[in-house]
Structure 1
Amino acid sequence: MTAEEAETAARMFKALGDPVRLRLFSAVASHEGGEACVCDISDVGVSQPTVSHHLKKLKEAGLLTSERRGTWVYYRVEPSVLAAMGKLLAPSAAA
């Protein structure tokens, strides 16, 4: 793993280190159609402004993308993220 890859991975895992963010990421990743409206995933036991804060952190870490449609924002997992995470967590061929 290069230093740059380690930095990217650390940012992703740091963002997912918060239980609320992990729940939000999971809700988006598992939502039907691969995207979720913020109105569908905001029931995680915190206020709406806090949900927005956590979603922003997930976007900053490169885990989610978003698109505004009218008054709602729809989130999807960044396409390369799950593959990259899987690659990092998979046992290496040399092991």
Structure 2
Amino acid sequence: MKGFYRQKKKSGIAKASSKKSSAPKSKPHASFTLGSDKEELLRQFDLNMAYGPCAGMTRLARWERASKLGMNPPQEIGALLKASNVRSQSLWDDRI
């Protein structure tokens, strides 16, 4: 059975290892960087599944649907979506 599994011999002479990093440090993805407080509130809205799925619809459409179905979405989110220049697509729009 000893010959069945190949064993690697431990040698006494070790090669010098290189200290260089082979992979360069990458920048964080633009959508994962923290933006303003408005974007953080909208990100939390996207992650909250209590207001239904968000795939294939805009944030405003999701907020309006949740409001019509009596899920009581936050009024501040609705005001943000209707008034300011924020990204209309959900956090998951490009990833699904």
TM-score normalised according to structure 1 size = 0.39
More helix as a share of residues: 1
